[in-house]
Amino acid sequence: MKKLLIIAIVLISNVNSYGQTKENVKEFDSNFAHTVYFWLENPDKEEDRKAFITSLRKFLNASKYAKTSFIGYPPKASRDVVDGSFTFSLIVSFASAEAQQNYQDEDVHLKFIEESSKLWTKVIVYDSVSAE
């Protein structure tokens, strides 16, 4: 019983130390969403995947305009309607269309394109504004 109590305390303290708090939560801004899908030329080459992610994170961390961001990759799809052909996805939220345009023109964004465009063969962008 004592061991079980110790395990429970350790688990709770780990959840609290790694969980989100009010201070570190960034809320998704529904005013403008920018969704990008990337197809890498060599999607199975670990070196290219690491180089791409490193450059993308460096860019996003330095952006003055991106409010929130999510970098993902396709899961094993269990439904025919799921397109898992891309290598990486990026979802970024902005306060406005103007902020998104400023992001496009940022030096750090242009540097990311310069560094990483040689790694991909295809990019598709879907931009959305809130319907509400």
Report d(CA 46, CA 81) in Å as an integer: 28
Of 69, 64, 57, give the one whose Cα is nearest residue 26. Answer: 69
pLDDT tens digits, residue range 7-66?
433 333 333 333 334 444 456 667 899 999 999 999 999 999 999 999 999 999 999 999
pTM: 0.76
The residue type found at 94 is F
Of 111, 35, 36, 105, give the one whose Cα is nearest residue 64. Answer: 105
Q: Residue 90: beta bridge partners?
A: 36, 71
Q: Are 88 and 40 in contact (CB under 8 A)?
A: yes
Name the 3-class secondary structure at 65. Answer: coil
